[in-house]
Structure 1
Amino acid sequence: MDDTTPPLTKNVTQAQLLAAEPSTDPELLRELALSTDKITRQSVAGNPNTPSDVLLKLGAEFPSQLLDNPVFPLLLLENLNLVAEIPLPTLRSILKQENVPVYILEQVAEQADLEVQLGLVKNVQTPKGVLNRLTQSRHPQVVESARLHINLAGELTEKYEERIKEVVQGIIPNAYKADTSSLVVLAQICPIPEFMVEHWVQDSSYKDFFCRRLANSPATFPSVLKYLANHTDDWTKCKVAENPNTPVETLRKFATEEQACFSLALNLSTPADILESLSTNQNQTIRIRVAQHPNTSLTVVKDLANDPDMHVANAATKVIGELQGEYTAEAVRKNPRACHQLGKLESVVLGMIKQIEK
């Protein structure tokens, strides 16, 4: 603290006690309101003995304490013009509170300040009459918000929901202006309304970066991938077909699209029936991927072992050999006698190797 700091505010503990004491002299509270200690200032804002002009100033920082101060309603009764005298920063702050008196909401409706008007339309307690007046505001965003306010709209109807959808779609920026990197993160950490995803899919400006990043990410929600499957961009669709989070019903739709078949054969979530249909695909690489896929049934792999293409047949044969090796190893582990015989064989082989070395 510097030398200009009031003496009583230098002892923080004493200042806090005095600020909270209802019997503290008003002029002393005026001095304590200048404290650099937040708790002290907060207590002054809630003290009923604090001078009204000091309260109204502190209300900008502590709107809840001002509204809860027992003297505040009395001040409004004593001075009918008090609302008009509330400093603008304080007015903006208290309008964000849920317990702001309705008569304050009614009296500030004529305020031209944009933040004040937006505070009114966002407050759930704002009366319908005030909202009606705000539909005549010179600020377009205030007019639109007032029209959509729950109290003005009355009962929720399908038209009301459609109107909200129209407004949101109208303010979604072009991908070149939007921070698409942030949108990618947003779409991966919380559910996104379907109509917004539809908008991204239909807007070609989102194709190159945004939709492709979403389609390729293992963190993307299945609901988003479902809509990305309808994208006009082939690369995006292929990545959706390859994404393990893509719903199975969406994967089934890709089974008839040649460009997406290779991606389906790579997707570890692709079910056995789709892989079976891909096993007859004309593309050699796709059939090889099907043979190597962990979800492919043994029957399909055996069929591919007889494939006319040597590379496909060899890939399937190798998989069968690996599977048989696993079965043999498992059988040995489960059969103690077989383990014993295997141990004896190992001893014989080691003895033969030693004889050769001599």
Structure 2
Amino acid sequence: MDDTTLPLTKNVTQAQLVAAEPSTDPELLRELALSSDKIIRQLVAGNPNTPADVLLRLGAEFPSELLDNPVLPLLLLENLNLVAEIPLNTLRSILRQENVPVYILEQAAEKADLEVQLALVNNVQTPKGVLNRLTQSRHPQVVESACLHINLAGELTEKYKERIKEVIQGIIPNAYKADTSDLVVLAQICPIPEFIVEHCVKDFSYKDFLCRKLANSPATFPNFLKHLANHSDGWTRGINQPQISQELLQEKSLSISWLERLAIAQNPQATQQILIQLAQDSNQLVRAAAKDRLQNLSSS
């Protein structure tokens, strides 16, 4: 039945209000579930008065609404085989959600469907018992993912971490193909995982734009600066930045390069101890910069 056969749905706004009302007649909700209006269908999926078969069908399109529907736990109590009766498309959708009840995860493991099993091994909530069963799956990719799941491994093992690195590094594009400016912005507003930093710094294609830009930005996080400090490009070492770590400041104050020692002497985060050390430096410019900073500190 489409909207033209239901007088109420000629007014979409009114139909939406009716679809959201918990006291709406179940058969009217059944008809509203066939509406061409997405919001109406979504509201029907969240309505506790909607017939069970309609809810399970709509769950493929609106899995979050189905899981949040207060009638779902009651339906599962009334019918212990309900999970087995959930249409595959709906089951695949709800297993990708973050708030899946454990008993649905456990019963879904009975399904031989590849997409269902992959959704289970990719859901962080899936319990250890279910994962153990999935290690016996006939699908190799399910077995591998189940073995690597944090709930089965118990912790982030080296194998697990290396696998993550391989996957993520495999999808990081070459700088010439990527919108590198987006990565610059990202590196300036949040810390980037260490292995991604290493990957970008080692990739020659990133050096000129990404690394130099970050080395000269006062917003770049210390984990990026730590790697840039040893960059092959002298303009991309970032050791003049105030957010550089004290550990790196101390290390670079002993550098064989007088230019690096000078940058440390001029860095506003250099401690008095470092400045006293550099005030005795063999290079005149380094000594002068360190003494000037010490004088400013004593007068402030």
Q: TM-score range by the shorter chain?
A: 0.7 to 0.9
| TM-score, length basis structure 2 | 0.73
Aligned to 2:75: 74
Structure holding more helix per residue:
1
Aligned to 2:248: 250
> In the TM superposition, what is the alpha-carbon distance from 1:8 to its structure 2 partner?
1.1
Report if aligned partners of 2:278, 2:286 keep a CA contact under 8 Å in 1.
no
CA-to-partner distance for each residue in 1:104-125, whole Å, 9 max, x for gaps?
A: 32343334444x3343123344
CA-to-partner distance for each residue in 1:103-148, whole Å, 9 max, x for gaps?
A: 432343334444x3343123344232432343446464x5444223
| TM-score, length basis structure 1 | 0.63
CA-to-partner distance for each residue in 1:231-250, whole Å, 9 max, x for gaps?
A: 4x1426x6322222222432
Q: Which moved more, 1:74-83 or 1:161-170?
A: 74-83
Aligned to 1:123: 123
> In the TM superposition, what is the alpha-carbon distance from 1:7 to its structure 2 partner?
1.9
| Corresponding position: 1:290 with 2:289 | yes
Cα distance change of structure 1 residues 185 and 20 upon mapping to structure 2, 3 Å threshold: closer
Query: Which SS does the other structure have where 2:234 is aligned?
Result: helix
Aligned to 1:32: 32
Cα distance change of structure 1 residues 38 and 72 upon mapping to structure 2, 3 Å threshold: farther
Cα distance change of structure 1 residues 91 and 254 upon mapping to structure 2, 3 Å threshold: same
Instruction: Give the paired residue count.
Output: 284
> In the TM superposition, what is the alpha-carbon distance from 1:217 to its structure 2 partner?
2.0
Aligned to 2:214: 214
Partner letter of residue 159 of structure 2?
R
| Corresponding position: 1:276 with 2:273 | no
Distance, in Å, in 2 between the alignment partners of 1:111 and 1:130 is 13
Aligned to 1:182: 182
Cα distance change of structure 1 residues 78 and 194 upon mapping to structure 2, 3 Å threshold: closer
Distance, in Å, in 1 between the alignment partners of 2:204 and 2:157 is 26
| Corresponding position: 1:166 with 2:168 | no
Q: Which has the larger radius of gyration?
A: 1
Partner letter of residue 283 of structure 2?
N
Aligned to 1:332: none
Higher relative contact order, chain-length normalized (CA < 8 Å, sep 6+): 2
Distance, in Å, in 2 between the alignment partners of 1:79 and 1:248 is 61
Aligned to 2:234: 235
Aligned to 2:260: 260
Report if aligned partners of 2:262, 2:289 keep a CA contact under 8 Å in 1.
no
Report if aligned partners of 1:66, 1:72 keep a CA contact under 8 Å in 2.
no
1:336-351 aligned at under 5 Å gives the runs: none
Query: Which SS does the other structure have where 1:239 is aligned?
Result: coil
CA-to-partner distance for each residue in 1:66-98, whole Å, 9 max, x for gaps?
A: 23342665378548376355141x223311344
1:312-327 aligned at under 5 Å gives the runs: none
> In the TM superposition, what is the alpha-carbon distance from 1:220 to its structure 2 partner?
0.9
CA-to-partner distance for each residue in 1:188-247, whole Å, 9 max, x for gaps?
A: 22223344434545555654444333323211112332233244x1426x6322222222
Cα distance change of structure 1 residues 209 and 173 upon mapping to structure 2, 3 Å threshold: farther
Aligned to 1:18: 18
Distance, in Å, in 2 between the alignment partners of 1:5 and 1:228 is 67
Distance, in Å, in 1 between the alignment partners of 2:15 and 2:182 is 45
Aligned to 1:225: 225
Aligned to 2:54: 54
Cα distance change of structure 1 residues 163 and 204 upon mapping to structure 2, 3 Å threshold: farther
Distance, in Å, in 2 between the alignment partners of 1:249 and 1:85 is 57
Provide the aligned C-alpha RMSD in A.
3.9
- Structure 1 residue ranges without an equivalent (≥5): 299-322, 324-358
